[in-house]
Structure 1
Amino acid sequence: MSIHPRFASAILDGTKTVELRRRRVAVLPGAFLVLYASAPEMALVGTVRIATVTTAEPGRLWGNVATRAGITRREYDQYAAGADAMSALFLDAPSRLPAPVPLTTLRRACPFFTVPQSYRYLNVEELKSIANADAAGAELLQRVIDSGSA
């Protein structure tokens, strides 16, 4: 999942426990997410699990996420403007990688690696290539294996 560095840090610190998306997110509770911090960091930085997903109209959703989303009401209203429904991904078990895996390493390991605009699935071959290219990538692969998501 691609996310602004400010929010990736807050998730990994445990202070942001809800990630908001303007589109419905079709992911099951228990899914294991790899966090990609967008520019200027541009690296895989950690992992987190999805506890639950809620989709609702923006006006109804705020009350459920206000203290957990890591944003102000003004930021929320700006982000939600024009959306018919939004998804709230309730997160748990955040864990920072021992070191970021930079985009340059990802592209060297997987020449056709593309950064997701929102989220995308990593296939087994991509994970193996990342693991072979970088020690933190090896840690990432082990976490995926341990989670049962591989």
Structure 2
Amino acid sequence: MSDPERAMLLSVHPRFATAILAGTKTVEVRRQRVAAPPGTPVLLYATAPTMAIVGMARIASVQVASPGEVWSASRTSAGISRREYDEYMTGATSASGLSLEEPIAFDAPVPLAALRTAGAFHPPQSYRYLSGEDLRRVAAAAPGIEAALTGAVLAASAE
């Protein structure tokens, strides 16, 4: 990573965010290629109706392959049925399986409204990278998570 403070903001349905933070879902699948190195901090944005950053995790590894290969490798860890997976992957030629570790649920989720008071904030459709400035805005919106963010960023930049 050229920016040692870079982290990923990942939009997920609330039920998947809950499962990731509980440790029962350890692989998040995406329809496109994701190129993030191991150790990258991931902030979890739970989509509507929650609309808040609810916690974070760290990327352990990323598998980029065909949808069938990603399913074979992640079916017991993805937290979805084969039917849901196939519906989601319809038309995709490539898929990514993001193995996540070290989930941390925030005591108080950071709501979208609070994120927007700290500056322009737009949750991604799938994911996007956050710069150090973006992370500082998130920390400003929710001072209670600053220690977790700082720890994640420092750990990622030390790797």
Any conservation in 2 of the 1:12–1:95 contact (CA below 8 Å)? yes
Does residue 116 (structure 1) correspond to residue 124 (structure 2)? The answer is: yes
Partner of 2:136 in structure 1?
Answer: 128
The answer to whether 1:51 aligns with 2:60 is yes
Q: 1:55 to 1:126 in 2, by over 3 A?
A: closer
2:29·2:78 contact (CA, 8 Å) conserved in 1?
Answer: yes
- Distance in 2 between the 1:45 and 1:143 partners? 17
1:141 corresponds to 2:144: no
Of the three residues 6, 14, 18, the one matched with 1:9 is 18
Give the equivalent residue in structure 1 for 2:3.
Answer: none
Larger relative contact order (Cα-Cα within 8 Å, sequence gap ≥ 6): 2
State the partner residue of 2:71: 62
Moved more, 119-128 or 34-43: 119-128
Which amino acid in 2 is paired with 1:126? Answer: D
C-alpha displacement of 1:149:
4.3
Give the corresponding residue for 2:50. Answer: 41
Q: Which runs of 5+ in 2 are unaligned?
A: 1-9
RMSD over aligned CA atoms reads 1.7
Question: Percent of counterpart pairs with the same letter?
Answer: 52
CA displacement 1:56-100 (0-9 Å, x = unmatched) = 111222221111000011111111111111100111111111210
TM-score scaled by length of structure 1: 0.91
Residue in structure 1 matching 2:100, options 77, 86, 91? 91
Q: C-alpha offsets along residues 79-123 of structure 1, whole Å, 9 cap, x if unaligned? A: 11111111001111111112100000000012x111111111222
Q: Does 1:24 align with 2:33?
A: yes
Q: How far apart, in 1, do the equivalents of 2:135 and 2:148 lie?
A: 8
**Would you identify which runs of 4 or more consecutive aligned residues in structure 1 move more than 3 Å?**
143-146
Distance 2:39 2:149 in 1: 17
CA contact under 8 A between 2:40 and 2:156: conserved in structure 1? no
